[in-house]
Structure 1
């Protein structure tokens, strides 16, 4: 999720990554808190507790994950250009980098949460990294094919989805015999949860390995194309492209997102496409809008700097936010839940603030996050001897020749 230290950092990319990481937590926090509306936090929200949940879903569900995927593709393009500048064969080093990311993702999946995205990202990156050697026009064709495959799978899944079951009687919940008492069920320990995730590995990886890859490939390649198009250069062309992304993405994506919740024809189709097709459209709008705001405000405000801190430590913060939420809300941890909508939003804000503070304090002493430091050392390890020999040859070639 982070770039090589040898590459000059693009400040707006750090801010965008930070926003994407915190926004992804806004989607996932509901899983941790098992949000319901019948506890004390629901009473704080009162009648609009459900509205808070709805607004959060409209803003975040799949949108920030889409943004993170686009930015991952931007990072791939940056790595590709760096490899060419340093004379490295592409994509061999990047494939090794992706294998390490997959291993990191498996550890995160097994020890922390079942909805890890790192393994899926690594798998797709391994497949599409060679495509970056293509000319831009052929890369556009590859991007279109990935998008078409994703849409085909989406509509095929919707067509083959089993019809909804008959609704339960209205008095079902009032019938004591119909309610299943789960209070006597033993809560699983942490190690039982880990064992369960490993035992049912393939069942828990359907999204990462089957549903998401065509979409991830499309968004990665879009990110690479946007980098080549100069979206992050800061010139007039970049500003024009940002405006087009904001207007097109939000102008199309927001109405489609809202359509799902309105009594209109096709709302069921909109609901079926919400997370994996409509949300990425909104993500492009978010990308353009954030870049416009950063350029208009200079990108150096307090909040922008804190998001940038999270972006510079993106891998560490992504894993840390899940660890913190797991410890706070799991039954074997502090067990602070379930929470209502307002409580869930407060929990998200608190964990986000903790991430920003931790990233800020860490970066005062180190240039990268803790996981980034370890991961970077592992990435460079197999090539260290070759790089040193190449540097030695370069210095000998550049050394002045003495004339006797």
Structure 2
């Protein structure tokens, strides 16, 4: 299949990486669609952790967990720099346009989180994007320094919370275990019943699940992590890393370095959690820090590998499809949620809590196939994704052209 029609104002490598990120994010998100929310943090709730179940989780965790969310956040940060430069070149006020972009994105994220799927990242990106935009003119060195400082905050929080677990009264600790780590049989059945019910019935579970992310995870951990990665993405853009400006040899060296350091750190986390029996006091924060520290390095390896493939012109058909997904990333991200909740939630097939990790993997591949088919087909007829079109209309205040003009000769 030929690649989707190219627009001259786009950077090819960013579109391919964005499409790659959309697919990679689903490797872990499929678990959050299919199982109770605590099973994402405590995988012992989501399967036997033996045989094929165990190895699917290990590969997903080591190679994908947080790695593609990191890539997506970095690309979001890079996009801010590009948008600001284009706004200035057009005589617009970048800050004014950015505020409107983030405001509309926040609204889309809230609708997504509370109306479709609680695991939305768009609202968090919109909130943090307002802060990150202030750093867009910083040098590469300053961006990396601030990124490192912000990325260290979840480490401090994690160590503090781990210490707190060891000194808090036993009854308080047990209550936290039931709430965040090992819910009772009745609580698990309640979540399953809620998500297997109709859309209105799901609200009783979806609203608190989404609110937990927004009220607790955003200010304590996820917001700092996302901010750091957005700044790292700005630095990566300015350095030429994300634009394909490096040589294949330099990408290979950086990728091997990232994998050589990052993968052992993440694997050490798996060994640590297995050895400590997946107790909340050791695994919820302390055990998760291994992946937090190793994930950006593994992400670097993925990015370098993808850009080597792009520079060498390998797999052009697949790259064309990934490029199309990247050009319609917002629409494809939301379409992924619609497809997955239709499979797992009660207003669809109602498979929530019934699909093991093998089944989840097969469903994920099916969703990938839909995205890689629909996105190129859409772009053959239209200039941008449908949600991107609405977003741009809201930001610019005038309706942009959607249908692609037929070529004349």
Q: Shorter-chain TM-score: which interval?
A: 0.7 to 0.9
1:23–1:60 contact (8 Å) kept in structure 2 = yes
Indicate the residue corresponding to 1:194 in structure 2. Answer: 203
1:231–1:241 contact (8 Å) kept in structure 2 = no
SS of 1:116's equivalent? coil
Q: CA deviation at 1:79?
A: 1.2
Distance 1:179 1:78 in 2: 50
Supply the RMSD in Å over aligned alpha carbons: 3.5
2:22–2:326 contact (8 Å) kept in structure 1 = yes
Q: CA deviation at 1:85?
A: 1.8
Indicate the residue corresponding to 1:51 in structure 2. Answer: 55
What is the correspondence of 1:3-402 to structure 2 with a 5 Å cutoff? 8-34=9-35, 47-161=51-165, 182=189, 188-194=197-203, 196-198=205-207, 202-205=211-214, 206-235=216-245, 237=246, 239=248, 241-262=250-271, 271-296=287-312, 298=313, 301-336=316-351, 338-381=354-397
Indicate the residue corresponding to 1:172 in structure 2. Answer: none
SS of 1:160's equivalent? helix
Distance 1:339 1:265 in 2: 23
Q: CA deviation at 1:146?
A: 2.0
In the alignment, structure 2 segments of 5+ residues that lack a partner are: 1-5, 40-46, 175-183, 277-281, 401-409
Q: CA 1:204 to 1:239, structure 2 compared with 1: closer, same or farther past 3 Å?
A: same
TM-score calculated relative to the size of structure 2: 0.78
SS of 1:355's equivalent? helix
Q: CA deviation at 1:163?
A: 7.8
Which stretch has the larger CA shift, 108-117 or 149-158?
149-158
SS of 1:213's equivalent? helix
Q: CA 1:238 to 1:105, structure 2 compared with 1: closer, same or farther past 3 Å?
A: farther
Q: CA 1:162 to 1:319, structure 2 compared with 1: closer, same or farther past 3 Å?
A: farther
Q: CA 1:55 to 1:105, structure 2 compared with 1: closer, same or farther past 3 Å?
A: same
Q: CA 1:185 to 1:346, structure 2 compared with 1: closer, same or farther past 3 Å?
A: closer
Distance 2:7 2:321 in 1: 23
Equivalenced residues, count: 362
Distance 1:264 1:60 in 2: 18
SS of 1:261's equivalent? helix
SS of 1:350's equivalent? helix
SS of 2:271's equivalent? coil
Distance 2:148 2:109 in 1: 28
Q: CA 1:150 to 1:203, structure 2 compared with 1: closer, same or farther past 3 Å?
A: closer
Distance 1:101 1:179 in 2: 37
Distance 1:201 1:56 in 2: 23
2:197–2:347 contact (8 Å) kept in structure 1 = yes
SS of 2:93's equivalent? coil
Q: CA 1:221 to 1:363, structure 2 compared with 1: closer, same or farther past 3 Å?
A: same
TM-score calculated relative to the size of structure 1: 0.79
Q: Over alpha carbons, which structure has the higher Rg?
A: 1
Q: CA 1:242 to 1:83, structure 2 compared with 1: closer, same or farther past 3 Å?
A: farther
Which stretch has the larger CA shift, 155-164 or 243-252?
155-164
Q: CA deviation at 1:302?
A: 1.4
In the alignment, structure 1 segments of 5+ residues that lack a partner are: 37-41, 169-177, 385-404
2:13–2:242 contact (8 Å) kept in structure 1 = yes
1:254–1:282 contact (8 Å) kept in structure 2 = yes
Distance 2:114 2:257 in 1: 39
Q: CA deviation at 1:256?
A: 1.0
Distance 2:8 2:394 in 1: 18
1:158–1:272 contact (8 Å) kept in structure 2 = no
Distance 1:354 1:6 in 2: 23
1:230–1:238 contact (8 Å) kept in structure 2 = no
SS of 2:119's equivalent? coil
